[in-house]
């Protein structure tokens, strides 16, 4: 099933890009870098800035929006609520968007999370106008640009690939994506044939590009007028 890794690269790229939308969250200076309808400065030993209504941060390739935000100066902590959206334009021109209802970001540890009442939505829209890739889950967690994880009913889909799993984790060090929980499935949906792979755990790697599957692996390949199924011991 050598063509599978080329398709799986789409899901890996989406996971790798997701935390970049939040990675450059600003340190407010007298409210100058964040716009909102109302801005309140809380003085004292725990100084913070509160932003209410149509909160927007725009700097270079990053745009962050919410209905409400609070920035704690001491810990460099961001809290966001209501129609949270982070968008980043990559050097390639592709646009990455992460959407949810609540978000938290620690500027010191660079750890953060995003949740939503109806889940979180990630998307990557290519600059050339090609069909986008999407992913939905209950939660997104990340640590800088090194690690990102989608958890809870993870479903990614696009013109080349569709995946289902309980969790999808990206590790930048090995440029790998790990799909686990709930017997993950990777389905190839482009080209003149389709196929699917099901296992206890599926990993995709970007360099060199490859895919591995472990645990009661089952695979399907469907050609026009013909199909084949294989199960590993």
Mean pLDDT of 13-40: 65
Tokens representing 12 are: 């890996």
Q: pLDDT tens digits for 92-146?
A: 888 888 899 999 988 888 888 999 999 999 888 889 998 888 999 999 998 877 8
Mean pLDDT of 66-77: 91
Q: pLDDT tens digits for 179-213?
A: 999 999 988 877 677 788 899 999 988 777 788 89
The three-point CA angle 90-95-99 to 5° equals: 120
Beta strands 194-198 and 218-223, pairing class = antiparallel
Structural domains for the chain: 4-176 (2.60.450.10)
What pLDDT, on the 0 to 100 scale, is given for residue 221? 76
The answer to whether the bond into 152 is cis (omega within 30° of 0) is no
131 half-sphere exposure, CB direction, 13 A CA radius:
8
What pLDDT, on the 0 to 100 scale, is given for residue 89? 84
**Residues 150 and 170: beta-carbon distance below 8 Å:** no
What pLDDT, on the 0 to 100 scale, is given for residue 17? 59
Higher-pLDDT residue of 7 and 59 is: 59
pTM of the model: 0.83
């Amino acid at each position: 099933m050598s063509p599978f890794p080329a398709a799986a690269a789409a899901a890996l790229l989406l996971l790798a890009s997701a935390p970049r939308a939040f990675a450059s969250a600003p340190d407010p200076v007298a409210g100058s870098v964040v716009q909102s309808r109302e801005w309140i400065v809380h003085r004292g030993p725990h100084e913070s800035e509160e932003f209410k209504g149509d909160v927007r941060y725009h700097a270079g390739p990053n745009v962050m929006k919410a209905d409400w935000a609070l920035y704690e100066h001491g810990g460099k902590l961001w809290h966001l609520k209501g129609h949270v959206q982070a968008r980043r334009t990559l050097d390639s021109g592709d646009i990455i968007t992460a959407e949810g209802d609540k978000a938290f970001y620690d500027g010191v540890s660079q750890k953060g999370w995003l949740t939503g009442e109806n889940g979180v939505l990630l998307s990557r829209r290519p600059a050339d106008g090609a069909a986008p890739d999407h992913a939905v889950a209950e939660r997104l967690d990340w640590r800088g640009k090194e690690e990102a994880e989608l958890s809870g009913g993870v479903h990614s889909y696009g013109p080349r690939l569709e995946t289902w799993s309980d969790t999808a984790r990206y590790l930048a060090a090995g440029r790998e994506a790990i799909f686990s929980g709930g017997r993950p499935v990777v389905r190839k949906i482009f080209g003149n044939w389709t196929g699917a792979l099901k296992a206890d755990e599926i990993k995709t790697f970007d360099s060199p590009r490859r895919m591995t599957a472990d645990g009661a692996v089952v695979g399907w390949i469907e050609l026009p007028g013909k199909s084949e199924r294989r199960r590993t011991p």
